[in-house]
A and B are shown apart, each in its own frame.
Chain A
Amino acid sequence: MAVAWHARLEGGPAADGDWESFTAWLEADPLNRDAFDAVDAAAVDTAKILARHSNLAFTPMAPPPAMLRFSSRAFLGMAGIAAFVLAAVIARPDFFMPQEREVISTAAGERREISLADGSKVHLNTNTQVAVTMSGRARGVTLERGEALFDVVRDAARPFDVTVGDRNVRVVGTAFNVLRHDGRITVTVERGEVDVGADGARDNVRLSAGDQYAAREGTRTYQVAKIDPAIASAWRDGRAVFTNATLSEVASDLSRYYGRPIVVRDPQVAATRFSGILKIEDQLTTVRRLEALLPIVVTENGDEVRLERGTSK
């Protein structure tokens, strides 16, 4: 089977379902992985020798250039990358039964999952504080700072309210993300519907799955845009996602995860746009990934990490 898989996957585009079947085959027996590696080693070494000593084999007609498969690029220190572990980020499931008003918080770089007495779940991202109030008639969470992802159990008799700054979000049963950072409030709905209202405002805004509401605290204005909810909740899997964000926004957002701020002084660098996905690891590892993607350099300077103009890669 190892031989058949290698022949099929290296021989052209995979068919529908091939990747899933290949995964299942590998999972069926750990020895299958060794068998596949043995085939790969034999094939790669033989191909290398044949390429180096072209007189060893009959050389068929040269293929038209369009048919050439891309050659795998130089292997860049991948073995070293494997050694990294996600040490800074700790996701710890927790059981939590609040009586009255309970305050729960996370430190920089920490993540935490809380189960509420009604079965609802709240995931807290880095540097976050919430206050939970549960009673027979109402369920309430105040997001004092940071970011939280709510997965609310449906209970029509007991509405679930999230208060964040001067906005509040009312839900029946749904999953959504709330972020309070740098004077901005963002609410993103993954499933179901929520109503968002500003303090003192008469009307609420109804959001459904895929809607993202963004507002500045202290103002009544807001915007609603469509977004892939997976982007807003990627932090739960230890990833920060940016779509067309300026580097000053990226620096500010990433700073939430660490004790040391990330700063951009050069206005031209600060205005550089970035779209990408970064794994949250130790601060320098994470920030240095940007060096590979943008013409910047990362320098450490005492109590801050700086993004500065660098050469284009």
Chain B
Amino acid sequence: MTDAVLGVLMSEYLAMREVLLRFLTARLGDPATADDIYQELFMRLRSGGLPADLTNPRGYLFRMAYNLANEFARARRRQDARDALWTDATTHKVGAEAVSEDAAADDLLDSKERLAAVMRALEGLPPKSRDVFVMCRVKGLSHRDIADVMGISTKTVEKHMTAALKHLTLNLRSTEGERH
């Protein structure tokens, strides 16, 4: 990373403190966590991988904050799921050896019920919505890219995506566990 880009980002990072903390607090529900993620954001910023030409530093920092908050929320969900599994397991007196992070990450998905629920949900998806979902969330294409590949408008892509998300959320919410 060039010093110039870092300098611009540091100034922007400081100037955006209030809006980023407000966003992170709204996203994660707690100011102390938001403040920790705000520092973590800077650590990620410093660990490199920045585009050489940064045209929109504000959008860049918001995007980073959004991604970090999602990562945090996902880790928290996994932790909750693990705690739930642990509570179930303790009735059978399982030993005290700690489960590794990676194993824990997959606990939720490898639970038979969750896997079956995802399969069922997938079967119920209309083919177009499923294709759009795969292209976006598995292959990492933007809506713009998908519109080009499929020869449809971005509005239609968004419609398919929204339908897919609605269907998946509706069908998977109940198996996620009652932890709210």
Contact = CB atoms under 8 A, between A and B. Distances in A.
B36 A82 contact: yes
A78 B43 contact: no
A63 B145 contact: yes
Contact of A3 (B68, B141, B162, B176): B162
A62 interface: yes
B88 interface: no
Interface residues of B, number: 82
Interface string B55-90: 000010011001110111111110100000000000
Contact of A63 (B35, B62, B73, B141): B141
A82 B23 contact: no
Given A10-B136, A244-B3, A33 B27 contact: yes
B40 A60 contact: no
9 contacts: A3-B169, A37-B73, A42-B171, A43-B133, A43-B137, A49-B118, A60-B135, A75-B74, A276-B46
Chain B contact residues: helix, strand, loop or mixed: helix
Contact of B26 (A2, A26, A67): A26
Contact of B109 (A45, A56, A72): A45
A14 B32 contact: no
Interface stretch (A136-144, A158-166, A227-235): A227-235
A86 B14 CA distance: 18
A221 interface: no
A230 B130 contact: no
A79 B75 contact: yes
B139 interface: yes
Nearest to A39: B169
A3 B165 CA distance: 6
A230 B63 CA distance: 22
Contacts of B145: 63, 67
A8 B67 CA distance: 14
B115 A49 contact: yes
Given A13-B59, A39-B165, A47 B138 contact: yes
Contacts of A79: 72, 75-76, 79
Interface string A39-53: 111111111111100
A271 interface: no
Contacts of B62: 14, 19
A292 B133 CA distance: 36
A225 interface: no
A182 to B, nearest CB: 23
Contacts of A61: 149
B172 interface: yes
